[in-house]
């Protein structure tokens, strides 16, 4: 294998290195995996309208997310059970994010606890929350995250039940015996039973609250002062309700195409959600981002930033912390180059006019001369 030159190349290395059950868990999507492919393909239907002869000798990619200054609008999405990918797991990811000056989101289902991740050193970290049937468990977990210095909650709202991931069913997926869901270890919820299908699907069916509704978003605000990002919004209707319910931000996400198949790619749903939010809260995107060009396209459509998921676990599997650092570095450099070649010196200069999409009304051309 030659030198790695882009983010996508890590997937093949991860496939070689990881046990089949683990690779399939990270890589697969729901059912036909139509949305899984579409999350990527949709980006290729957005083209650039670069502006030329602009002094791009200095490019500023910094931004502020919920009041926190970060080096670039590229952040780390929550992905579960990272110690399946590499022995250092979430510790390595946390250190890589901190070194890159960006935000890591820790999964509820991490194989390292909120306290352990906090112990890696300084860094801005968000906590992804699944709401368990036992609300005391939820309240306790939120308190622990807050005490450990986490700055926001990313509330996953697209998983009342786990999506049908057929590779996990075939492989009878379960958490390897030497690992636990560390945040739940002391609560006897840290282990997954072997099941006739996906062990994770059975765990979710038993533990995650299907009654979760907008009133619970309000309830969360009564138990924590951390801002709440609603993760898993794909429509204008839900974007409006999220704002009304006091959400501090919205993450346009289809759960990496792992929940409901045949939902649109997130980049296709983004503009609708941004328009509905009317600038009242920031809107973020995850799903299918593999290139700096993808980051630029999301920002041009109104996103305040993006999150990457699978590239983190694949690079972690391949090269540990160094791999995750490299992914963040490559995306940063590609994004900076895209900005320069598009004539944008800061994020505020990236506009809707820098891209053209299939659904744009054709621009008025000068009248044809007969």
How far from the centroid of its chain's Cα atoms is residue 20's Cα?
A: 23
Task: Tell me whether residue 255 is one of the annotated catalytic residues.
Answer: yes
Distance separating alpha carbons of residues 18 and 26, to the nearest angstrom: 10
Distance separating alpha carbons of residues 49 and 327, to the nearest angstrom: 26
Q: At which residue do the structure tokens 């890591």 appear?
A: 104
Strand partners, 1: none
Distance separating alpha carbons of residues 51 and 57, to the nearest angstrom: 15
Beta-strand relationship, 63-65 and 152-156: unpaired
Dihedral pair phi/psi, residue 91, rounded to 5°:
-60, -45
| DSSP category for residue 350 | -
- Hey, how many other C-beta atoms are within 10 angstroms of the C-beta on 278? 10
Q: List all residues 6 or more positions away from 144 whose beta carbon is below 8 Å from its beta carbon.
A: 113, 114, 115, 183
Angle 165-306-96 from CA coordinates, rounded to 5°: 90
Distance separating alpha carbons of residues 61 and 48, to the nearest angstrom: 19
Q: At which residue do the structure tokens 């990881």 appear?
A: 18
Of 83, 125, 151, 255, which one is the catalytic site residue?
255
Q: Identify the CA nearest to 96 among candidates 82, 109, 81.
A: 82
Q: Positive or negative CA dihedral for 342, 304, 37, 82?
A: positive
Which residues are marked as active site? 255
């Amino acid at each position: 294998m030659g030198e790695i030159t882009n983010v996508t190349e890590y997937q093949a290395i991860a496939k070689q290195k990881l046990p089949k059950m683990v690779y399939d868990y990270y890589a697969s999507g729901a059912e036909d995996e139509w949305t899984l492919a579409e999350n990527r393909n949709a980006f290729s239907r957005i083209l650039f309208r670069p502006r030329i002869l602009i002094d791009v000798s200095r490019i500023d990619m910094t931004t502020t997310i919920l009041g926190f200054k970060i080096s670039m609008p590229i952040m780390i999405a929550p992905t579960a059970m990272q110690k399946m990918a590499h022995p250092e797991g979430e510790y390595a990811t946390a250190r890589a994010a901190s070194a890159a000056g960006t935000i890591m989101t820790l999964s509820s289902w991490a194989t390292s606890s909120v306290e352990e991740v906090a112990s890696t050193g300084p860094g801005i970290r968000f906590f992804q929350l699944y709401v368990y049937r036992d609300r005391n468990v939820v309240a306790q977990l939120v308190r622990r995250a807050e005490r450990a210095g986490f700055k926001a909650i990313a509330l996953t709202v697209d998983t009342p039940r786990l999506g049908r991931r057929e590779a996990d069913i075939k492989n009878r997926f379960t958490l390897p015996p030497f690992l636990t869901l560390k945040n739940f270890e002391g609560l006897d919820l840290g282990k997954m039973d072997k099941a006739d299908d996906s062990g994770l699907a059975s765990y979710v069916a038993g533990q995650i609250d299907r009654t979760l509704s907008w009133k619970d978003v309000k309830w969360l605000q009564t138990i924590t002062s951390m801002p709440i990002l609603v993760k898993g919004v794909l429509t204008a209707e839900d974007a409006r309700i999220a704002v009304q319910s006091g959400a501090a931000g919205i993450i346009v996400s289809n759960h990496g195409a792992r929940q409901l198949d045949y939902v649109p790619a997130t980049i296709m749903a983004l503009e609708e959600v941004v328009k509905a939010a009317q600038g009242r809260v920031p809107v973020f995107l995850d799903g299918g981002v593999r290139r700096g060009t993808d980051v630029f396209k999301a920002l041009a459509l109104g996103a305040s930033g993006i999150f990457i998921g699978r590239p983190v676990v694949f690079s972690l599997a391949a090269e540990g912390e160094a791999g995750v650092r490299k992914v963040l570095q490559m995306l940063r450099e590609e994004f900076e180059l895209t900005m320069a070649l598009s004539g944008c010196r800061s994020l505020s200069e990236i506009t809707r006019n820098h891209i053209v999409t299939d659904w744009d009304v054709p621009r008025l051309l000068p009248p044809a001369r007969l």
